[in-house]
Structure 1
Amino acid sequence: MKRPGPLVTLLAGLLLGLFMLSLNATTGTESASSGYREQTPSPAPKKSATASPSLRSPSPAVAPSPSRKPVATADYAGRTDDDSASVAVAVRDGKGIAYFCDGHAKESWLKGDVEDDGTMRLTGSYGAELNGTLRQDRRIRGTVEVAGGHYAFTADRATKPSGLYRATATVRGAKIDGGWIVLPDGRQVGILTRAGKPTAAPGITPETGAVTVDGQQLTARPVTP
Structure 2
Amino acid sequence: MKRPGPLFTLLAGLLLGLFMLSLNATTGSEAVSSTPKKKPPTAAASPAPTKTTTPPSPSPSRVSVPDASYAGRTDDDSSAVAVTVRDRKAIAYFCDGRAKESWLKGDVKDDGSMRLTGKNGDVLNGTLKEGKRISGTADVGGGHYGFTADKAKKPGGLYRATATVRGAKVDGGWIVLPGGKQVGIVTRDGDPQAAPVIDPETGAVTVDGQQLTARPATP
Give TM class, smaller chain.
Answer: 0.7 to 0.9
2:33 corresponds to 1:37: yes
Q: Structure 2 residue aligned with 1:202, among 192, 197, 208?
A: 197
Q: Structure 1 residue aligned with 2:163, among 163, 169, 173?
A: 169
Identity of aligned residues (%): 57
2:113 corresponds to 1:108: no
In the alignment, is the contact (CA less than 8 A) between 1:192 and 1:200 conserved in 2? Answer: yes
What is the alpha-carbon root mean square deviation over aligned residues?
A: 3.6
Cα deviation for residue 81 of structure 1 reads 1.5
In the alignment, is the contact (CA less than 8 A) between 1:103 and 1:201 conserved in 2? Answer: no
User: Aligned residue pairs: how many?
Assistant: 216
Cα deviation for residue 36 of structure 1 reads 1.9
Counterparts of 1:92 and 1:45 in 2: how far apart (Å)?
76
Distance 1:168 1:189, change over 3 A: same
Cα deviation for residue 108 of structure 1 reads 1.9
Distance 1:148 1:45, change over 3 A: closer
In the alignment, is the contact (CA less than 8 A) between 1:76 and 1:158 conserved in 2? Answer: yes
Secondary structure of residue in 2 paired with 1:59: coil
Question: Aligned letter for 1:200?
Answer: A
Q: Which residues in structure 2 correspond to 1:83-102 (within 5 Å)?
A: 83-92=77-86, 95-102=89-96
TM-score by length of 1: 0.72
Q: Structure 1 residue aligned with 2:50, among 48, 58, 65?
A: 58
In the alignment, is the contact (CA less than 8 A) between 2:98 and 2:192 conserved in 1? Answer: no
Most deviating of 58-67 and 130-139:
130-139
In the alignment, is the contact (CA less than 8 A) between 1:192 and 1:198 conserved in 2? Answer: yes
* TM-superposition CA deviations, 1:168-225 (whole Å, max 9, x none): 112343322111112244433222234434123322324x434444554433222233
Most deviating of 179-188 and 11-20:
11-20
Question: Aligned letter for 1:60?
Answer: T
Name the residue aligned to 1:23: 19
Name the residue aligned to 1:192: 186
In structure 1, stretches of 5+ residues that fail to align are none
Secondary structure of residue in 2 paired with 1:61: coil
Counterparts of 2:151 and 2:31 in 1: how far apart (Å)?
100
Counterparts of 2:85 and 2:21 in 1: how far apart (Å)?
110
